[in-house]
Amino acid sequence: MNGSQHFLGKLQRRKLLVKDKRRGIQKGQRKANTFGSSLEFSDFRLYQPGDDVRQIDWNIYGRTQKHYIKRFLDEQDISVSIYLDCTSSMRILPGKWSAAKRLAAYFSFIILNSGDKLLFFPVSSNTMLPIRRKGALYAKSIFQDIMTLEDVSRTGEFSEHLASLLVKNSQLAIIISDGMEPFEKMEGLFKKLQSLKQEIWFFQVLSAEELEPDYSQDMRLIDSETEEYVNVSMNQAIKTEYESRLKKQNGQLETLCRCYGGQYLLLSEKQDLQTYFLHDLPAKGLVR
């Protein structure tokens, strides 16, 4: 299996912090916000750091010398949808594609191990079908499936394909893409997600050369999706103009995410994802 076993062991104990706590139809491991007499008792589970100590059943402790927490039917699962951009602009640069897949695989691993429901959509994929799973039993196999995904994408734009795949019963939509789409189409996508009352986390993954191009000669730049091209004589002025436009586009994406109550996160392919999941995302209040 790709990835450090030690790191995956740490991810097993992580959970996503989702604002929307609408219940799913199956019992899960996610704790309810509050405990009260109106909640119907279900069973017990072992105490974990951070649990409400008032919910410890001391009668069971007296018999077992272990701390158990009362579990209620309100502890239901949530459904998380991951949409991975599989268009050619994502796959043509190996480093960016690898980073995007690892990001999706790590999130899937956390979701399944925490008892939540995973819906994984390889958007624009020509071969891999969507994955719908729940339970830690599937965590390692799904992780491996995503990590080894090598695909041929369909024609068309990511935003159009994604709009046709959106599901109604998710509480969180995680979108992993390079964001190289017309702004108005991305805005339409976010409006649709908001109408479905889903929290949005948008991860924009870019390659090192997309963030800081290091070219200095005459070249032909070809759009990997439309095959349109432009001849460019690379110089410092062109680089400065490119970086300015990229910054503007990324800023628009971030503003769009915030406008619809979502999270915008920009990642380079060189990002250390172990540090990102164990420190950066918890610091942002997205993972615990």
Supply the pLDDT for residue 31.
53
Q: Residue 220 phi/psi, 5° resolution?
A: -110, 120
Q: Is pLDDT larger for residue 248 or for residue 226?
A: 248
What is the reported pLDDT for 64?
86
Give the residue among 21, 139, 164, 136 at the shortest CA–CA distance from 79: 21
215-238 burial code (b ≥16 CB/10 A, e <16): eeeeeeeeeebeeeeeeeebeeee
Q: Say yes or no: 56 and 107 in one domain.
A: no
Confidence (pLDDT) at 27: 47
65 lies in the same domain as 113: no
Pick 225 or 181 by higher pLDDT: 181
Q: Worst-scoring range by mean pLDDT, 56-65, 81-90, 218-227?
A: 218-227
- Position 226 scores a pLDDT of 64
Q: Indicate whether 63 and 192 sit together in one domain.
A: no
Q: End-to-end distance of the chain based on CA atoms, in angstroms?
A: 24
| Res 32 pLDDT > 60 | no
64 and 87 both lie in a single domain: no
pLDDT in tens, 142-188: 999 999 998 666 677 889 899 999 999 899 999 999 998 888 999 99
Q: What is the pLDDT of residue 5?
A: 86
More confident residue, 4 or 174: 174
Q: What is the rounded CA–CA span in Å between residue 159 and residue 171?
A: 20
Q: Is residue 288 part of a domain?
A: no
Provide the domain count of the chain: 2
Maximum Cα–Cα distance for the chain, whole Å? 78
Structure confidence by residue, pLDDT tens digits, 255-285? 999 999 999 999 999 999 999 999 999 999 9
215 and 189 both lie in a single domain: yes
128 and 54 assigned to the same domain: no
Domain assignment of residue 49, given as a range: 41-72
pLDDT band at 35, cuts 50/70/90? very low
Q: Do 67 and 113 belong to one domain?
A: no
Please answer whether residues 254 and 86 qualify as being in contact, where contact means their C-beta atoms are separated by less than 8 angstroms. no
